[in-house]
Structure 1
């Protein structure tokens, strides 16, 4: 009996141990594709399977699955970056594959899918418009034919004059040249109809590619069009620059993976996008192109992917300005994912895009655009100076968008950021590019400089370079008037008197399009979690990015679904002279531009599938975010909870949300006067400062005592500025001040605040419908950017 009990106990512990081992193995397999290798063997023609070992041309490959794509890598390829490991020259990384960036690739597939719906909708609309035009032209030709025939008959009936026919009359048996011309026109119409029917049957319906046996077009053959016909060089030169005859009505979307490496992105786009696609996978190294061909063969996608060995810039310039053996037209989507900065590829990529087109850009040089360590290189690459502080991540995104916007504006192109994210060690932006010279004029009014008090209290102020104002014309029509901007900031911080530093210029418009984000979020419930393994993080990050747009005045996205936070926050913007109103019910769902009269009718809805655009003149007057713990370090007090600060700001009527770039941050449209008032209220009500912690004249002391500043007490006064001197008015609260009346050596009591600060943590907490993974969890040891591929 006793032995039976011990045997059962031992059996139970053994089962528990095995279950733990199984859970550990499953977790490890989820984070590392290399742990799923098995001993299955096959050839390049075998059906692709994860963990399969293949032998091709005497070389052994392991098969890695990501999404619906399979790539072949050498058995010794590294998937981690160990800082303590010594690199062996013979063990150099020959294939670049970083499993940590699967989030990037999953998100890219969904973003291009959202854009493809807009592309397909516009293509359908163009085809309908083109069909109507062709019908009208056909009717007009038939009418002209009848009129010419009637005129010819009337001229045949005229009698001869002096033995000669009158002008235009023909004898019997002769052919009227006008009648012959009308008959030729009718034959041309019939020929065009037959050609259109032939083209519709020639095109491959699955991928939009012509039926060809070769993966790459020959160097001697003329470039093919989407319908399979060849274009002679002489005829190609006569066509519009960068367009093909069927470019507007082609049934597929053209994508360029400009820096393809193993071709993983191209494989995923070809196998996962629902719309027919024609993908060009380009790389500079012949070995990389050979790997792309091999992976396309193994995935049975040679009909959809064309590997090209070329310089990426040269290839895109060829697509923009002429026809070559590979680049015979512009692209609808261009994906730039280099090792480092992508700015050197921007000019050629923008020119090689259709209008509208989608530009996907990744920059991994975060040490350049996110810090002041190499500010000279940042300015040389991105055209601006980075910001110092916790909000540097958003500043880096705005520098990248500024580089894209300025490069596009030179060619009459305007950009609209659809989604801009700071992810792990890199930045990823999705930008819609359109040819709109009129909208380019708004670039100056959406470009800003930042005056940052980076070594003082940490506050900042923005300065837009230009102003755009809508005025009435003589006949009642409205038009935009563009003017210079006046200086809005002093060289010294208005809150602590420290010197401020200049950052920028950088992008000053919205970072995201709420309709684009909502469309991607709509895909997530129906996705296969085995294919898109980062779905939880995508949902959390995109919901957080969507909440960031709440602080932009004139942009009302309350109609969009937010599963994480119910729309209970007030949208009222406090006046500078009146107390902030209490939170009210959410406004009616509409997209406001700020120019509609109160009785303006609602804007018509876009056709199904169309992706609405934000107004081209809409700026973001409340960029960046702050960290409550950083502000508490200035005041030498304990850090307040995030819910307490959010609750106090929301109680005043302001919006307070998270930011996707960094956890523990707060993004709000409240001015810094209000934020510091809230922090002073925190010190007075919840966290008193220890006596002697704040040195008189220091930054924290000046923030806590804005009415007690006197000469000779800090950096600001070294510049010859007296603050709180005799007769000076100091703005406090909602724009109301009082005479400081403090002579040198005399102090007055604290200035009475006009705001009531209430730390309502219940209001500050976001009531989540479901738990979201908003920020990256540590997936495994030694994850991060890997070394560049060699060989």
Structure 2
């Protein structure tokens, strides 16, 4: 924030906003804070940080009646870029929908024209037959007239008419041609009514915010132009639009602007940034429950000159979103394309109304700051009541917290036939932030049970875990060759005692078991970074580092990573030489520069689109073939079979040995053919597709080759002793003392039974050579990335709740 200069001292609300500016409005002085392209007005002594050592008194600072936390600028920068990437997908889908609608209209018009021409030909034939009938009727009438009494000359015309009733008339037969003529007349009347309705809609859309055109104006416009021209933007005054009959409201699916709801707006900073920084035309509703906050929003909107794009409302966020979903009133004109939930604490109470208030393929942005609930075991009863699952105890609690939040969103959506697709899920500082695409698809909802899992966590022993899906999905082939899905209950996978150390396990979950991210969405956001101004987005370096780490996490999901060395049967296969995570022989030179993760912008056809059978089954064999601008969807059948991450230093603490470097453990796993990457959630962690049996095998080799354990440091009843000496200490000592058996174990692929803590065989019954290749395990991207946050200042954190 820059210091205010002398020319800015006497600024008012009409003055162009600038950072550090002092603005006087209605006798109150405000200080201007700039973030992005938005400027907000705050009292001069407003709190922007909280000292935890203070006694709780304001000590010269004003009470915080409007919430603003500068530490969350990363959250807001990321949100703007994520919505911008989504807006490109939004525009492409609207364009595709409009083109499809035009094709359907042209097709229907051709059918009606062909039908009308066929009907005209039938009418011509019927008209010839009608002329013959008329001649016969005339002759019969003349004969009947001659047959009457010629003497009654004074007979009145009425009497003649009555006598004529006794003459038999030819039956009136409704021919096929006349029926088609009536049907055509009815169709023409319906077409005319539809055309009038379209003209009214188009004219109303042209009216814009100034109001709706009258019927006479609409008629004059139609007469002048001859056709109904589609408006560029159906932005209507909500109150006047609500007065329209249901069939005359603008076509919401074809409008060009983006509708965003900032449901808990506080100062309106997010709404200001969305309205000023998104390239697509945007209409933002900034809502807050506190009137003081709404007044601050209106003040900031006016100062930023965005009254045409932002509407401030004072209402309960849940009631507002329910009214947007089910009503059509002055507070909410239709549903929203993007809804941002950024409460102080949990967002769970707002999730269901937000899902209902979203349009199909809408974006839901959720922030939860109650990390003490979803990231720890301190309040597990509260976690279950809010998120519907039990948290995890251990170093992987951050990812488990994300999966609990996604589970809460997915189950709320499934009740209404809505499926979710996580585009980006991040654990950031003291909060979690997820971006979820919501679509109406009852068919995709059926996969939710197979993407929901329970975790058997050995939190009191070795720290390992076992996964238990609630259901499983299989692909069947029908009699005619088509594929369909069947849904089955899952077999029990977990045990009461840990299979590695024998300690008791505890349950966690249920939680989301699918992928946390969409790789094409991340690639689209990363592709925007070179285009943005670093002065506007001051956290781009951290955004790039965190998203790159999140993209690397997806390497363990084999369906999203075609280069993965793990096939569908979880069998390890050798990778090509020279790959970053591939297996390298002794004679091969280490790669000079390991390839960085492949980034995609979303415009390319994904490689898995044509090779993944789940994708083929889900799209009737068509696969994912996105058009320009569309972000491909992750197939709903894909599950993440290797969630969570482990900490090498925590494993070394279990067996009481020297902690291995991260690069050495990753190099050993990669040498064995597994994928090993870092995670965005926490530094020093490793995410891999190797099983826990393989991980503990690597740790035992680390002790044997690099860091032997001191005698007496492990009790025989401890988890570390059972892990380090699975078959008894005497046999293990013989291995260490002799060395010959150790050399045998290093033979690659030797048919030696590998045993874990309870004596069971490991993955494939073969012992592989464990080589701690630090060069292979070291990630060296083309540029240095800021992957993890350092403390930006003293006393940073969530601050205190606003009081209004």
User: CA 1:481–1:734 in structure 2 vs 1: closer, same or farther (change >3 Å)?
Assistant: farther
Verify the 8 A CA contact 2:390 2:510 in the aligned structure 1.
Answer: yes
Aligned pair 1:478/2:483, yes or no? yes
The one-character-per-residue Cα deviations of 1:118-171 (angstroms, maximum 9, x if unpaired) are 11111101111111222233344445555666666654756533667975899x
Matched with 2:404 is: 399
Aligned pair 1:763/2:776, yes or no? yes
Matched with 2:229 is: none
Matched with 1:226 is: 235
User: CA 1:54–1:168 in structure 2 vs 1: closer, same or farther (change >3 Å)?
Assistant: farther
Aligned pair 1:516/2:531, yes or no? no
Verify the 8 A CA contact 1:571 1:583 in the aligned structure 2.
Answer: no
Aligned pair 1:628/2:633, yes or no? no
Alignment of 1:446-461 (within 5 A): 446-461=451-466
The one-character-per-residue Cα deviations of 1:548-581 (angstroms, maximum 9, x if unpaired) are 00001221266xxxxxxxxxxx6345977x7763
Aligned pair 1:95/2:89, yes or no? no
SS at match of 1:736: coil
Q: Pick from 35, 45, 49: which aligns with 2:14?
A: 45
User: CA 1:493–1:117 in structure 2 vs 1: closer, same or farther (change >3 Å)?
Assistant: same
Verify the 8 A CA contact 2:500 2:757 in the aligned structure 1.
Answer: no
Matched with 1:567 is: none
Q: CA deviation at 1:279?
A: 0.9
Q: Pick from 576, 579, 593: which aligns with 2:612?
A: 593
Verify the 8 A CA contact 2:565 2:572 in the aligned structure 1.
Answer: no
Verify the 8 A CA contact 1:574 1:653 in the aligned structure 2.
Answer: no
Q: How far apart are the structure 1 equivalents of 2:5 and 2:722? A: 66
User: CA 1:186–1:494 in structure 2 vs 1: closer, same or farther (change >3 Å)?
Assistant: closer
Matched with 2:473 is: 468
Q: Pick from 252, 263, 284: which aligns with 1:279?
A: 284
Alignment of 1:166-177 (within 5 A): 167=172
Matched with 1:374 is: 379
Verify the 8 A CA contact 1:629 1:639 in the aligned structure 2.
Answer: yes
Matched with 1:60 is: 29
Q: How far apart are the structure 2 equivalents of 1:605 and 1:198? A: 37
Q: CA deviation at 1:477?
A: 2.2
Aligned pair 1:133/2:104, yes or no? yes
Q: Pick from 609, 626, 634: which aligns with 1:606?
A: 626
Alignment of 1:560-579 (within 5 A): 571-572=565-566
User: CA 1:178–1:540 in structure 2 vs 1: closer, same or farther (change >3 Å)?
Assistant: closer
Matched with 2:728 is: 708
Verify the 8 A CA contact 1:551 1:655 in the aligned structure 2.
Answer: yes
Q: How far apart are the structure 2 equivalents of 1:733 and 1:434? A: 51
Q: How far apart are the structure 2 equivalents of 1:183 and 1:158? A: 29
Verify the 8 A CA contact 2:238 2:333 in the aligned structure 1.
Answer: no
Verify the 8 A CA contact 1:473 1:479 in the aligned structure 2.
Answer: yes
User: CA 1:426–1:146 in structure 2 vs 1: closer, same or farther (change >3 Å)?
Assistant: same
Q: CA deviation at 1:735?
A: 9.4
Aligned pair 1:736/2:736, yes or no? no
Q: Pick from 678, 685, 702: which aligns with 1:665?
A: 685
Q: How far apart are the structure 2 equivalents of 1:150 and 1:573? A: 65
Matched with 1:12 is: none
Matched with 2:574 is: 581
Aligned pair 1:360/2:365, yes or no? yes
Verify the 8 A CA contact 2:614 2:635 in the aligned structure 1.
Answer: no
Deviates more, 1:506-515 or 1:153-162: 153-162
User: CA 1:497–1:278 in structure 2 vs 1: closer, same or farther (change >3 Å)?
Assistant: same
Q: CA deviation at 1:461?
A: 0.9
User: CA 1:595–1:257 in structure 2 vs 1: closer, same or farther (change >3 Å)?
Assistant: closer
SS at match of 1:248: helix
Aligned pair 1:777/2:797, yes or no? no
User: CA 1:276–1:501 in structure 2 vs 1: closer, same or farther (change >3 Å)?
Assistant: same
Verify the 8 A CA contact 2:211 2:236 in the aligned structure 1.
Answer: no
Matched with 1:79 is: 48
Matched with 1:255 is: 260
Verify the 8 A CA contact 1:148 1:178 in the aligned structure 2.
Answer: no
Verify the 8 A CA contact 1:145 1:182 in the aligned structure 2.
Answer: no
Q: CA deviation at 1:501?
A: 0.7
Verify the 8 A CA contact 1:574 1:580 in the aligned structure 2.
Answer: no
User: CA 1:351–1:582 in structure 2 vs 1: closer, same or farther (change >3 Å)?
Assistant: closer
User: CA 1:666–1:229 in structure 2 vs 1: closer, same or farther (change >3 Å)?
Assistant: closer
Q: CA deviation at 1:494?
A: 1.0
Verify the 8 A CA contact 1:44 1:56 in the aligned structure 2.
Answer: yes
User: CA 1:190–1:374 in structure 2 vs 1: closer, same or farther (change >3 Å)?
Assistant: closer
The one-character-per-residue Cα deviations of 1:651-709 (angstroms, maximum 9, x if unpaired) are 00001100000000000010011111111111111111112111223211111011128
Matched with 2:639 is: 619
Q: How far apart are the structure 2 equivalents of 1:489 and 1:189? A: 62
Verify the 8 A CA contact 1:702 1:709 in the aligned structure 2.
Answer: no
User: CA 1:346–1:197 in structure 2 vs 1: closer, same or farther (change >3 Å)?
Assistant: closer
Q: How far apart are the structure 1 equivalents of 2:13 and 2:699? A: 65
Q: CA RMSD in A?
A: 3.2
Matched with 1:113 is: 84
The one-character-per-residue Cα deviations of 1:685-741 (angstroms, maximum 9, x if unpaired) are 11111121112232111110111289xxxxxxxxxxxxxxxxxxxxx9999368999
Normalising by structure 1, report the TM-score.
0.81
Q: CA deviation at 1:595?
A: 4.8
Give the number of equivalent residue pairs: 690
Q: How far apart are the structure 2 equivalents of 1:454 and 1:741? A: 17
Verify the 8 A CA contact 2:205 2:234 in the aligned structure 1.
Answer: no
SS at match of 2:253: coil
User: CA 1:103–1:212 in structure 2 vs 1: closer, same or farther (change >3 Å)?
Assistant: farther
Q: How far apart are the structure 2 equivalents of 1:734 and 1:619? A: 32
Q: How far apart are the structure 1 equivalents of 2:704 and 2:385? A: 47
SS at match of 1:645: helix
Matched with 1:492 is: 497
Verify the 8 A CA contact 2:614 2:637 in the aligned structure 1.
Answer: no
Q: CA deviation at 1:419?
A: 0.2
Normalising by structure 2, report the TM-score.
0.80
User: CA 1:785–1:158 in structure 2 vs 1: closer, same or farther (change >3 Å)?
Assistant: farther
Deviates more, 1:267-276 or 1:84-93: 84-93
Q: How far apart are the structure 2 equivalents of 1:68 and 1:374? A: 40
Deviates more, 1:587-596 or 1:421-430: 587-596
